[in-house]
Amino acid sequence: MGTTLYRMKGCVLFCVTLVTVFGSLCLVDACNEAICGPIVSKCILIDACSCDFGNFTNSRCLKNCTVCLDSLFMDCCACVGLCKPKDTEEGMDDSSSVEELREPLPELFNVLTEEEDLLARWKSFTYPASAAKPGKNILLIKGKRERTKPEYQEDTNCTVAFMSECSAMQKCKDACRSMGASQYRWFHDHGCCQCVGHTCLNYGLNKPRCSNCPPPDEIDDIEQEEKMVQEMNRIDDQHVVATTSLVLLYGVSPQYYVFIVSCVTVTNLRPKK
């Protein structure tokens, strides 16, 4: 009877501890319970993270906590008070990559952006150039942090174009180059693409305004699809080169080469026994 009662008390104490742990996790806005709940509970239960994080003199406890959190330290350190919570106001929307484009065509860009695009491929915004702020978390791809600023008058305006469809960064760069833009800014969160005119400062606007973007987790799928298309194009190019070589060197007809390639492809697709 005494042993059973002791076990019941231990079970109750364990449950209370778990409730306390998960309750504290709920109070931390930046704490992802689904990811951090199990590891944080374990570290608190084994007394690995019971540190006074306001006093960093206890280095042993801090090291034990970081070791206990293991690979989830970056994601879960805020759950135990070891680091500051992530700033939810300063999300990935503020994070972007920028780059200067070679040989811009300002006249072309002005023509394309001075009126609304009939096919709704992009939306243009014009604002005073002096009002632009650089934004935060900017990743400069190439060149200098700031280009040489031309002489601006107070009434100089900046025109930017936000693509309606979000895309991978390389596709954004290619699209802005084809429009004659001087710079581009690609936002990391959704893949929003902004083409920036030649009179703009600080790489245009620092907030994404693309109208038709997929969820962030679909951006990786888009990039994978683009890589697959590039790989298929590369294989097609190799087939063309091989066909030309066979025709020139051995007199093999293109039709016969296509037949050989088809047979090899079908053979490779057959299930192996």
DSSP the chain: -HHHHHHHHHHHHHHHHHHHHHHHHHH-TT--HHHHHHHHHHHHHTTSS---TT-TT-HHHHHHHHHHHGGGHHHHGGGGTSSPPP-TTS-GGG-EEEEEPSS--HHHHHHHHSS--TT-SEEEEEEEGGG----SSEEE-SS-SSPPPP---TT-EEEEEEESB---HHHHHHHHHHHT-SEEEEETTT--EEEE-TT-STTS-SS---SB---GGGHHHHHHHHHHHHHHHHHHHHHHHHHHHHHHHH---HHHHHHHHHHHHHHHHSPP-
Same-domain status, 184 and 113: yes
Q: Is residue 236 part of a domain?
A: no
Q: Is residue 202 part of a domain?
A: yes
Most confident by average pLDDT, 2-11, 70-79, 106-115, 215-224? 106-115
Please give the tally of structural domains in the chain.
2
Question: Among residues 214, 237, 255, which one ends one of the domains?
Answer: 214
Digit-coded pLDDT (tens) for 186-242: 999 889 999 999 999 889 998 999 998 876 656 556 556 655 666 566 656 655 555
Predicted local confidence at residue 6, as pLDDT = 44
Predicted local confidence at residue 235, as pLDDT = 58
More confident of the two residues 183 and 35: 183
Same-domain status, 62 and 115: no
- Over residues 130-144, mean pLDDT: 55
Q: Domain range holding 77?
A: 30-85
pLDDT at 166 over 50: yes
Predicted local confidence at residue 5, as pLDDT = 45
Digit-coded pLDDT (tens) for 29-64: 557 788 888 999 999 899 888 777 666 666 788 788
Same-domain status, 117 and 181: yes
Q: Is residue 67 part of a domain?
A: yes
Q: Is residue 165 part of a domain?
A: yes
- pLDDT above 70 covers a percentage of the chain that reads 52
Q: Is residue 98 part of a domain?
A: yes
Same-domain status, 210 and 160: yes
Predicted TM-score of the model (pTM): 0.49
Same-domain status, 72 and 102: no
Work out the mean pLDDT of the chain and round it to a whole number: 72
Same-domain status, 79 and 181: no
